[in-house]
Amino acid sequence: MDKEYLVTKSNYFIMNSSYDLSLEEQKIILTLASMVQPTDEEFKPYKFKINDFMILLGVDTKTKYTKIPKITKELMKKVFEIQEGDILIQTAWLSGAKYK
């Protein structure tokens, strides 16, 4: 995980999408979004180590390995919407998560 990755939120996305995420959920989404590069042409799996993620957030807790799977499970249940003209797009924040 590269601490130099940058995420820029579009005002359109902030103002026109409908979502309600906890702080932890937002941090996971932003971490994953920071891994997407402008040269990426297709969807692909993005990976990070839970320990690296917790260090990045400055969190030191023994429950991190049970807490993160609960957060990702909630993200797979939540849907966000984007209105593009007369088209409504509904999608889940995550399509899946795998833990080792």
What pLDDT shows up at residue 65? Answer: 75
Q: Please write down the HEC assignment for all residues of 2-38.
A: CCCCCCCCCHHHHHHEECCCCHHHHHHHHHHHHHCCC
Q: Residues 24-76: pLDDT tens digits?
A: 888 888 888 888 887 888 878 888 788 877 777 777 777 777 788 888 899 99
What pLDDT shows up at residue 18? Answer: 47
Q: Residue 95 carries which DSSP code?
A: S
Domains and CATH numbers, the chain: 11-92 (1.10.10.10)
What pLDDT shows up at residue 88? Answer: 93
In this prediction, residue 6 has a pLDDT band, given cuts at 50, 70 and 90, of low
d(CA 89, CA 100): 32
Read off the pLDDT of each residue in 64-91 and give the average, rounded to a whole number: 87
Q: 23-35 vs 64-77: helix axis angle to the nearest 10?
A: 80
As a residue count, the chain comes to 100
pLDDT at 21 over 80: yes
Q: 54: helix, coil or strand?
A: helix
